Amino acid sequence: MPGQTISEKILSAKSGVDARAGGVVICRADCVMGTDGSVPMALDGDLIVAGKNFGCGSAMEVAVTAITGAGIRAVLARSFSRTYYRNAVNNGLPPVVCDTAAIREGDRLEIDGACVRNLTTGASIAAEALPPVMLEIIATGGLVGFMLKKRP
């Protein structure tokens, strides 16, 4: 599936992903490894920027938890597989749907609701707004935190 990020590639050692010490990062939808063949390491607070249908190919929740465990704070993509999108929300990882074509590796980004600001280039990119209930689930760290908060 060209131009898509298949969930198994996020976790598969055969694909060059090093899950030790939180080393899971995807720079583009079709690039699990760095352009020089190295495995990029995520820093706490990094973002993943991808293309279309991010997370397709699996319904495994671990595809999201591996990314959050690496310190990634959000995934920006043109689109997400439905299962990955829902698993992301349920685990407190914001799935940001926006046009990612103009974002380059190393750009500094700021997410503010339905707007992604590229602090490197000064550009603003419109993002799809999440429904209030999804924002609340993400704010409480995921579905478990949300349900505990709603408990009488």
Residue 50: which pLDDT band, with cuts at 50, 70 and 90?
confident
On the question of pLDDT at 30 being above 70, the answer is: no
pLDDT beyond 90 at 138: yes
Domains of the chain: 4-150 (3.20.19.10)
Give yes or no for a contact between 54 and 31, defined as CB atoms under 8 angstroms apart. no
Question: In this predicted structure, what is the pLDDT of residue 33?
Answer: 45
Sorted by sequence, the CB contacts under 8 Å of residue 144 that are 6+ apart come out as none
47 pLDDT band, cuts 50/70/90, is confident
Task: Check: pTM over 0.85? Answer yes or no.
Answer: no
CA distances from 142 to 1, 77, 146, 148 (A): 30, 20, 6, 10
The percent of residues in the chain predicted with pLDDT above 70, rounded, is 72
Instruction: Identify the pLDDT of residue 140.
Output: 96
Residue 17 has pLDDT above 80, yes or no: no
Residue 5 has pLDDT above 60, yes or no: no
